[in-house]
Each structure stands twice: as C-alpha cells, then as structure tokens.
Structure 1
Amino acid sequence: MSTEAREGTASADPSVAPTGGEDAPTTEGGLRRGLKNRHIQMIALGGAIGTGLFYGSASSIGMAGPSITLAYLIGGAVIFLIMRALGEMSWHTPVSGAFSHYAFTNWGRFAGFFSGWNYWFNYIAVSMAELAVVGIYVNFWLPDVPTWVSAAIFLLIVTCVNLVSVKAYGEFEFWFAIVKVVAIIAMIALGAVIVFFGVGQTSSTGISNLWEHGGYFPNGLWGMATALVVVMFSFGGVELIGITAGEAENPRRSIPKAINQVVYRILIFYVGAILVMLCIFPWDQIGEGGSPFVIIFDNIGIAGAAALLNVVVLTAAVSAYNSGLYSNGRMLYSLAQQGNAPKYLGKLNRNGSPMAGVLTSSAVTALAVVLNFLVPGKVFLYTMAVALIAGVFNWTMVVITQMKFRKRIGAAEVEKLGFKMPFYPVSNYIVLVFLAGVVVLMAFLPDFRYALYVGPVWVGILYVAFRFKTRSERRPAPVES
C-alpha cells in the first residue's frame, strides 16, 4: 500500500469507542448504544435466516441432493472463521460500520472506501433478493396480486421501522426473528415425528430418502461443490454482528457471545430443517415453485401447516430485508463520518437513527420493485448472484484486514485480546483459498456466471470514484480576489 493510500487512516468516526478502552457510550450526537445481546443475536439470525434457507434451498438441493447437509457444514465452518476474524477486531475497537472502519484504519484509505461501499452494495442486492420473493409468498393466499405491489408495500413498512430509535428497531427485529426461530424448531420437531412415527394419515417416512434416490451424493462430489455457491449466499448476513458493535450496550461481552452462539445456531437450523425435509420428501421431487418447506407440508396434507409455514417464510424475508436496511443505513453513516460519502449521509434524526442513509438505501432498493414489474420471477436469481460476489469481496476484506490489524497493533497488544482468531494465520489462508474456489465454481453455473462480469466492473467503478475523490481533495481552493 502506497504512502498516498495510507494518508488519513486515523478514524474520523465520532462514534468510535477508544481503542482498547472500556465500553463507552456513543459520543453525544452520534449513534446510541441501545442494543442488548438478545437484539444482536436476533439481528444476525434475521439477516442470515431468510430466502437462502426458505427459498434458495430448493436450487441447492437440486445440485447436491442429500449431500447439501455436508455443504452447509463446510460453509458454516468457513463462516465461523470469518466471524472470528471480524469479532477479534470488534472486541478491540467496537464501532458502527465495522468493515469499513477496520479496513480504513488497518489497511488504508482505498480499502476503507472500497470495503464500506461494497458492503452497502452487497446488502442492496440482498435486500432486493428478499423483496423479490415477498410477492411469491403473498401469492400463496392472494394469487392475483402482482408481486411488485407486495414488494412496494413491504418496502414502505420496513423503511418506516428503520427510522425509529435503534432500541425500537432491535425489539422489532427480535420478535420477527423469534417467529422464525420458533417456527424452525417446531418444524424440525414436527418433521422428526413424521419421520419416526407418522402424523394422522401420513405414515412414518424413516430416513431412507437420504440414500434411496441416487445415494447421498446423487450428483457426485461436483454436485455438492457447486451447491456451495448457493450455500454461501445463504450464510450472508451473519456479519451484521460487526455492524451492531457501535450500538451494543456492552460490545466486549455481547459481540463474542453473539458470534459463538449465532453460528452454531444457524448451522443447527439450516442443517436440521433441511435434513428433516429430505427425510420426508425425496430430494429430486422438491421443485422451485415457491418455498420448498411450504410445498412439502402442503403435499403431506397436514391441515393448516402450509399456511402457517407461509407466514413464517414471509416473516423471514421481511426480517432479512429489515436487517439489511438497518446495516446499510449504518454503513453509509460510517462512510460519511470518514469523508468517504456525501456529508448528508452522516445526519441522524432525533431518535439517533441515520435517517439519510436509511432513506437513500431504501430508494435504491426500490429498484427491486421495478424489476419485479418488468421481469417477474427472475429477480431473485439475478440479485442473489450479485450479492454473492459482493459478499465474497466483503469476507476477503475482513480476513485480510484482520491480518493487517494484527501486524499494526503488535505482539504485546495481541496478547491482551480477549477474543482471538483461532489458528491464525493458517485459518486466514484456508478461508481465502476457499473463497477463491467459490468464485471459480460460479463460472460453471449459468445463473451465477454473469456476476463474475459485474464484480470487476463494480471494483473499477469504486476505484475511479476513489481517485476522483482524492483528486478533488487535493485541488487547491480558489483564491478570493
């Protein structure tokens, strides 16, 4: 990194807690620390348990068959390492807009600029993907309502929620996520009863569906490998924990606890729910005409089960979009505080919410409504592919930034860390190789391949924007006559 890129790496974010110090309230006029540990965990669950599980799982099951469960375990292990890298930096310096700030401080100005804007771009794509399927779920009850109308309604509702205080937002997302968690646990329990005992007119299915339709690896190891692409999209959102650090009441206690708990909980929910589904229904008969969970329980004929599950999957999509809009508003706020975004994005309303960032992100996300009107049925796959390549950029930046963070603070300070990246630096290189492999796999999937063109173009746009910004900063002010 050149000297030029290193200029200005000191934090300009007024909400930053003193480096290495005790938990401190946010400075006056900045974001407010109103999120408790339960809020943080549910916000992360809300971001990660959405369309990736309830809708996207159909395509990943089609690729891997029953071995999709192994793919989730592998992907989950990698995500855990990424989260530990982020958690180490969040423990040391708990700030809002974590990705951008850490890259800015430990790597350089362009790294901070790129990391922040790319994360925002990532969650714009994720939010659009969530909105894209809202209309499909609503059509379960109201088949004549256009999907873009449903998307527009929920866009307005979620935007209003994000303009209230962070504590109110945290409560809203907590209960939204609770609905999903309780429903998934109940679904796993009900599924287990069906598998081993049967329910009503449905006799027990046993677990033979896991190998009777082509084996555990019906499409070979290659099928499982390509399914990792969809799996990694599904895990996107766990990193929201890092964004909440600037508004957590006790980040040095809540962030490590949330990271350790949320990853294994998501693994249990994903693997458990899909495992039960695959036991009940042959993997090669799971279609993509809606949520596979709803379709399966509808086919089994359990009264009311499909309708209830549809409420859950709709809640899941809205909750994930809610988490995405929350994080995007905070990221734009952090970028504005660094001088990497227009100043108006650093404005807060009287509730302490980054109103300008939320409204700007919501306005851009509204493109999903337009796309649902123009190309209904195709928006989800397009936005999922873009979200994944942006997510890979984010995760790569986190892992490399953590390595630079270790070098910057020195061995003595590393020893004082209360939450460390395990097996550093070997684990860092394992994650980087794995992420590179995911990008290679995307090239073999037609629905994801075009994102490999979008990614470099997006990087180029950000680089040009950064160069233009730095050149403008160096331009001397006009001399008054």
Structure 2
Amino acid sequence: MTHAPPSRSETTAPSTAAVADAPDLSEGWGEQRGRLHKDLRRLDVLFFLICTLVGLDTIGSVAAQGPQGLTWMAILAVAFFLPYGLLVAELGSAFPVQGGPYVWTRLAFGRLTAGINQILYWISNPVWVGGSLCIIALTTWEEFFTPLPGVWKYAAGLVFIWGGALAVVQSVRIGKWVPIAGAIARIVLLGFFLVSVVVFAVEHGVHTLPADEFAPTYVGFVALVPVLIFNFVGFELPSSAAEEMKNPRRDIPLSILRSGLASLVLYGGPILGILFVLPSQDIGSLGGFIDACKAVFTVYGGSIAADGTVTLTGAGSVFGGIAAAGLIIGLLTSGVTWAMGAHRAQAVACADGAGPAWLGAISEKHGTPVRVNLLSAVLASLLFVVALNLSGGDGEKYFAAGLGLTICTTFISYVITFPSLVVLRRKYPDVTRPYAVPGGRAGAWLVTALATGFVAFTVVVLIWPGFGVGWFGTEGSAAASLPEAFAGERLQYTLSQVVPLLLFLVIGLIFYALGAKTRRAKG
C-alpha cells in the first residue's frame, strides 16, 4: 500500500494522512500551524545544513590532537556520518512534519519520553550559545581587536547572545538569510585561510607531518570522538521546520547528501592547514584556529617572534580583522541556525502537551516560536554569567565544560531519537518513504546501531574522559584524557557535566507536568 505525497493542509505532524493511524497532535498545534510561512526552498535548506554542520568552534579541538585527528575523521565519516545521514534522510522524507525529531520520537515512544528528550535537545542550544560559542567569540575579539576587561566581557557576551536571539525571532523569509550568510562566511573564511596557508608554505615552509602520527590510537579516539561526531551532526534540524519548506520530501535527502560532502571538505582542509602552520604542542583547543589564522596572515604583513608571539601589521592586520569578523559571524550563525530548528521542535512539543501551552504559541507576525526563542536567550545569558563566574574568568576551563555539556546533552537526546527509525518502520510500514535506507530491515538496523552506538559511547567518554584508557594493560592514563584546563580535577569536571544534566531532566519533568491541561483538553 502506498500514499501520495501530502498537501500542505495534510502535513502537520501525526495527524497527516501519510502517517496512517498515528496519534493526533493536540488541538493547540492545529491552531498554531496556520501561522507558519512556507518560504524555505532547496538551496535555502542546503545553506541551512552547511551552516549547521560546519561549526568553527571545534576545529581547534580536532587539530590539537595532531594528524591522527584527520585519520579518525575519515573513519567516522564512514562509520557514523554516512549511517546518520541515511537514517535522517528516511525519517525526514517519510515524516515531513513540523517539529521533526520530537514528532519521530513521539510516534515511536510516546509523548512523555519524547517530551523529556526534547528538553535535552532544545536546552543544549542555550548552553552552547552561552558557553563555547560565546567564549570563542570573545577570545577572537580580544585577539584581533581590543581586550575586554571586567564588565566589558559580560556586556560583549550578552550582545552576542541577544543579537542571535533577535535573528531567531524573525520570520523564515527573513531569518533564512542568517544561515545563508553564515554558510557564505564559512566558505569565504576557510577558503581564504587555505589560500593563505599555501602562500605561507611557499615563503616559510611548513611543519612536516610524520606518517606514524596519522596512526589511530584508542587514546586519540576517546579524545576526538566527542568533537568529531559533534562536527558531523545537525542533519535533522531542517526537519524541525518541515512545514515551512516548499517540498520537504524531495529537498531533505538531496540537501543532506550535498551538505555532507561540503562539510567534509570545509573541515578537513583547515585542520590540515593548522597542522602545517603550528607545532602540534602549541595548538590549543580554544585558540587553535585563531592562532593559525594570525600566523598565516603574517605573509600579508607582520612577524612571528622566536617565542611564537605573532604581530600583524599593514595588510596582515586588515586581513586578520576581516577574518576575525568572519569567524565571529560564523559562530553566531551556528547558534542561530541550531536555534531555528531546536526551538521550533520545542514549540511543537509544548503545543502537543509535553510542555506549557504558552510556549507552543507561534507568532502571528513572524510565524516563529518567539516565546521559546526569548526564553532560550534568557537561559543562555544566565549560563554565560554564572559559568564565567564559576570558572573565575578562565576561558579554557569555561570552554571545556561548556562544550562538553553541549555535546553530552545533545547526544543523550540522539540515543532516544535514532532508534525511532526501526520502530517507525514496524509501526507505520505503509507510510510513503520517498527515500529509504538501503538493505531493508537489516540496513535499517545497521545504520541505527552504528549511529546510536557512537553517540552513546560519546556520552560515556564525555562524562568520564579517558574511559577504557589504560585498561587490560593498554598504554595511556585516563587522567591525561581530562581537558587540560581540568588537569587533576576529575571530580570537578564530572560534576560540571552530571549536575546540569540532572537539572535538565528535572526541567523536562516539570515541563511535562505543566502540559497536563493541554493533554486533558485533548481527552
């Protein structure tokens, strides 16, 4: 049995004709749906995904692990990135509904599980924006422009957060230009950096990369798997705005393929460039990309002192400032693009009774979940101020804790969402699947096992860095796998991950309780 592709009036989550016998969403979402603006075309979705996948905050973290980072990147591209892309392409084209990941999980495992899971997926965005994105943006500003002493650092961070919030609340017709600008900024910035590396190499030579340093090790794997896989995720975000697309069934799979290939090139090239320019021992997780930019731009004007200090002058200083602005724009648009997807899914969850109904409202003027957007900005601001105080202004410590928590929170939600593929194949076998994972049932189970297994393992090594290192007589020390800023402070680091995670779960239960009125009204 097959079904024709649904019309716009049919493409609301589980009430669509294509999702046969699925439970309906609440009446509240039916009322909000008419406020959406259908303005996303295929090229918009492609730029959206490039902006989502190519995050500039983790390039330094990968390069800091040396050449084997590229080896593990290639391995995970096949073992995780490909299966994950296949999985989301099927779910996104078979169930092209607003709220994407929430609805898939809701159909597979019920409203309670999906609602709590969605809280983790949504709240990771303000943690990320107020955490690693903000601190890299501030570090970049101080490196290329002027120091931010005292209250100025707080002011600059809040401008970064609320500037992004202003972009997120705009209608999709206007808001889609943010990921477009972000994708273009990435292509231009990373392309110019690679050209500059070539010029630098011609004038000064490059650091040799011995073949044995490309050999993959388990120690390197547990250090790299969180940031590498975090670099590879985000395919599901456009599906959260599926009912704002012109043709989601066609555009989602094609955009996943094209953006996936583009992201591999845009990541691999700069990482290799950093390794050529900077000695491996001098590459930091926070400032690796920033330091490499400064070093290569000396070819346009500037010098590198014997102790490694870089001074940019003339054209080098100009190009450095432009690149710094591009990097900050890239960071901001990363947060905005993820917010555009995660916030929409959270609004659908709230309108469905998995959260307070007032958060599920869609603005009549903008066609976006303004209330969720503003709440996220408030949370990001609070997290930024609190974390900056708790870390004593230590940027590296703040960055490590914030990035770890962002990845951990997002990946726990994936552990629940990814198995939806095999469950929905069983529960809704007659739903039209414009794209299906090849290999039948075995293929679906294989990609689900690989994608879910990797994100689950990542959660473990984030909470307990060095998991498995030194076991059974193997080389290495688990303590050495802790972020450098938390050296000798395993308990402090683990608490920085576990305590917020427990708090987020409590928030999820509170949200679900606040949705009781909506669930009762539905009967």
Q: TM-score range by the shorter chain?
A: 0.7 to 0.9
Equivalent residue number for residue 311 of structure 1: 325
After TM superposition, the structure 1 = structure 2 runs for residues 263-302 of structure 1, keeping only pairs within 5 Å, are 263-288=260-285, 291-300=287-296, 301-302=298-299
Shift of 1:158: 1.9
Shift of 1:47: 2.5
- Residue 82 (str. 1) matches residue 84 (str. 2): yes
Equivalent residue number for residue 211 of structure 1: 210
Encode CA deviations 1:225-283: one digit per residue, 9 max, x unaligned.
42212222333434323223231111111111111111121111111211122123332
Change beyond 3 A, Cα 1:186–1:279: same
Q: Distance in 2 between matches of 1:317 and 1:427?
A: 30
Q: Distance in 2 between matches of 1:467 and 1:44?
A: 30
Q: Out of 234, 252, 255, which is 1:237 matched to?
A: 234
Equivalent residue number for residue 3 of structure 1: none
Equivalent residue number for residue 37 of structure 2: 32
- Residue 323 (str. 1) matches residue 325 (str. 2): no
Gaps of 5+ in 1: 1-11, 477-481
Equivalent residue number for residue 341 of structure 1: 355
Aligned 8 A contact 2:294 2:320 in 1: yes
Aligned 8 A contact 1:125 1:383 in 2: yes
Q: Out of 442, 457, 474, which is 2:502 matched to?
A: 457
- TM-score, structure 2 as length reference: 0.77
Aligned 8 A contact 1:81 1:427 in 2: yes
Gaps of 5+ in 2: 1-9, 20-30, 301-315, 467-480, 484-492
Q: Out of 422, 434, 441, which is 1:418 matched to?
A: 434
Shift of 1:104: 0.8
After TM superposition, the structure 1 = structure 2 runs for residues 348-363 of structure 1, keeping only pairs within 5 Å, are 348-349=362-363, 350-363=365-378
Equivalent residue number for residue 479 of structure 1: none
Aligned 8 A contact 1:15 1:30 in 2: no
One-letter identity of the residue aligned with 2:282:
Q
- Residue 430 (str. 1) matches residue 436 (str. 2): no
Aligned 8 A contact 2:11 2:96 in 1: no
Q: Distance in 2 between matches of 1:38 and 1:470?
A: 37
Change beyond 3 A, Cα 1:28–1:308: closer
Change beyond 3 A, Cα 1:475–1:320: closer
Q: Distance in 2 between matches of 1:227 and 1:472?
A: 45
Aligned 8 A contact 1:79 1:235 in 2: yes
Q: Distance in 1 between matches of 2:154 and 2:335?
A: 15
Shift of 1:462: 5.5
Q: Secondary structure at the match of 1:406?
A: helix
Q: Out of 415, 434, 448, which is 1:396 matched to?
A: 415
Shift of 1:105: 1.5
* Structure 1 vs Structure 2 CA RMSD: 3.0
Tell me whether 76-85 or 64-73 shows the greater mean CA deviation. 76-85
Q: Distance in 2 between matches of 1:156 and 1:105?
A: 34
Encode CA deviations 1:357-407: one digit per residue, 9 max, x unaligned.
111111111124413652331332212111111121122222211111111
Encode CA deviations 1:137-190: one digit per residue, 9 max, x unaligned.
221201135332211112222222222211100023212221112221232343
Q: Distance in 2 between matches of 1:373 and 1:285?
A: 25
Aligned 8 A contact 2:53 2:232 in 1: yes
Shift of 1:27: 7.9
Q: Distance in 2 between matches of 1:473 and 1:298?
A: 55
Equivalent residue number for residue 69 of structure 2: 68
Aligned 8 A contact 1:209 1:281 in 2: no
Q: Distance in 1 between matches of 2:266 and 2:176?
A: 22
- TM-score, structure 1 as length reference: 0.83
Equivalent residue number for residue 260 of structure 1: 257
Equivalent residue number for residue 139 of structure 2: 136
Q: Distance in 1 between matches of 2:251 and 2:12?
A: 21
Q: Distance in 1 between matches of 2:138 and 2:159?
A: 10
One-letter identity of the residue aligned with 1:209:
T
Tell me whether 441-450 or 106-115 shows the greater mean CA deviation. 441-450
